[in-house]
Amino acid sequence: MSNFFKDLKVIELAGVLAGPGVGLFFAELGARVLKVENKNVGGDATRTWRLKGETENGPSAYFSAVNYKKEYLFLDLTDARERHDLLQEIADADMVISNYSSRVAEKLGMDYPTLSKINKKLIYLQLDGFANSARPAYDVVLQAETGWISMTGHSENPSKLPVALIDVLAGHQLKEGALLAIIHRMKTGEGSLVECNLEQASLAALANQATNYLMNNAVAEPIGTLHPNIAPYGDWFATADGKRIVLAVGSDKQFENLNMVLGLHLHIDEKFKTNPDRLRYRFDLRAALVPAIAKFNLADLSQKLDGAGVPFGEIKKLDAVLESPAAQEMVRTEMQGGRETKRLTGNAFKAGFL
């Protein structure tokens, strides 16, 4: 673990995933992160979000995903003495991370206007649910209301993403704001308020699906793994040994090379010569590729596709993914509450100065 932020003190008033993920970022880089939890309700709600059959000993796996290398303070902030103790910690802190509603923050005296009076250099990170509403906001609510569920799975069976991706995206946005605030303080000596909400973090991540609508008035439909602009891209196929792959053919040259590997000549067929052609006749294209790919075992096909520079991926289950060398390199362990907790590091980047 790097000590890049070893002189940074962070107070985490946030629960669940997005805010604690920001705290994890700084903790993994050496900051002192004090996570404040409501002792009247047993702490962060995710401490008890256990899988069926998961041990009751120690924190849940869910909680452990974004809580690592932190100090834990179980407080009742309605108690004047305990609130005073926390304010003493905040007085010399560099940063506060909060997902308290404005009503709760003001009632407890943990809002930015109040805290900035006792610490003028404080960077206050505020995470909200919606841009213009105080409604409760959980990840699946935002996946529904910002279009993700409408685009995922198939029309007869709407699906959500199996990770709380909106929380993760919002956490990344808030981290970026935090880093800008640190630079701003280095330049001016001033603290600042940085605000982010799940709704707009989710909207910002719609990327090409948003521009497909904004520029072409095209509303994305649920098409499983398929790509709306490219083919064969996201199309999946079974191999002779029962494995499954997805293709990610993004150019005419890659499509020609795919044909070379498979012993086909679809690239000279008028129906499939260009990407717009392949999109138009996508299902005919799939019908031609299915039997050709089914002749190969995965190992042999992988070698040939790699050799020809054709992008593809094996559809792997999570156990195989997490046993890979890349994943194993990212595993971090820590004893918490008598249980060995494990998670993947939240920081996938490397830098020579770390």
pLDDT band at 193 (very low <50, low <70, confident <90, very high): very high
Residue 64 domain-assigned? Answer: yes
Residue 351 domain-assigned? Answer: no
Do the beta carbons of residue 272 and residue 262 sit within 8 Å? no
Residue 169 domain-assigned? Answer: yes
Q: What is the DSSP string of 285-333?
A: HHHHHHHHHTTS-HHHHHHHHHHHT--EEE---HHHHHTSHHHHTTEEE
| CA–CA gap between residue 187 and residue 164 (Å, rounded) | 35
Q: Span 155-163, mean pLDDT?
A: 90
User: In this predicted model, what pLDDT tens digit does every residue of 227-277 receive, in sequence order?
Assistant: 999 999 999 999 999 999 999 999 999 999 999 999 999 999 999 999 999
Residues 160 and 28 placed together within one structural domain of the fold: yes
Q: Are strands 157-158 and 192-197 parallel, antiparallel or unpaired?
A: unpaired
User: In this predicted model, what pLDDT tens digit does every residue of 135-148 receive, in sequence order?
Assistant: 989 999 999 999 99
Tokens for 10, please give them: 């962070």
Q: Span 21-50, mean pLDDT?
A: 97
Tokens for 181, please give them: 């605030």
Do the beta carbons of residue 331 and residue 28 sit within 8 Å? no
Classify residue 146 by its DSSP letter: T
Do the beta carbons of residue 203 and residue 146 sit within 8 Å? yes
> Given 3-state DSSP classes, what are the helix, strand and coil percentages for the chain, each rounded to the nearest 5?
45, 20, 40
pTM comes to 0.92
Residues 144 and 273 placed together within one structural domain of the fold: no
pLDDT at 94 over 90: yes
Burial 316-331 (b: 16+ CB within 10 A, else e): eeeeeeeeeeeeeeee
Contacts of 89 (CB under 8 A, 6+ apart): 9, 11, 34
Share of the chain above pLDDT 90, in %: 96
| CA–CA gap between residue 123 and residue 194 (Å, rounded) | 7
Residue 100 domain-assigned? Answer: yes
Residues 301 and 340 placed together within one structural domain of the fold: no
| Summary mean pLDDT of the chain | 96
Residue 124 domain-assigned? Answer: yes
Contacts of 180 (CB under 8 A, 6+ apart): 194
Residue 330 sits at the vertex; the CA angle it makes with 328 and 334, to the nearest 5 degrees, is: 100
Count Cβ atoms below 10 Å from residue 352 Cβ, excluding itself: 4
- Looking at the structure of the chain, the number of domains it has is 2
Residues 61 and 159 placed together within one structural domain of the fold: yes
Residues 148 and 257 placed together within one structural domain of the fold: no
Looking at this protein, which amino acid is placed at residue 73? L
Q: Would you name the residues annotated as active-site residues?
A: 167
pLDDT band at 158 (very low <50, low <70, confident <90, very high): confident
Domain of 337, in residue numbers: 9-205+327-344
pLDDT at 29 over 70: yes
Residues 304 and 332 placed together within one structural domain of the fold: no
Give the pLDDT of residue 1.
60
Residue carrying the six token digits 């993914």: 321
Residues 193 and 339 placed together within one structural domain of the fold: yes
Contacts of 216 (CB under 8 A, 6+ apart): none
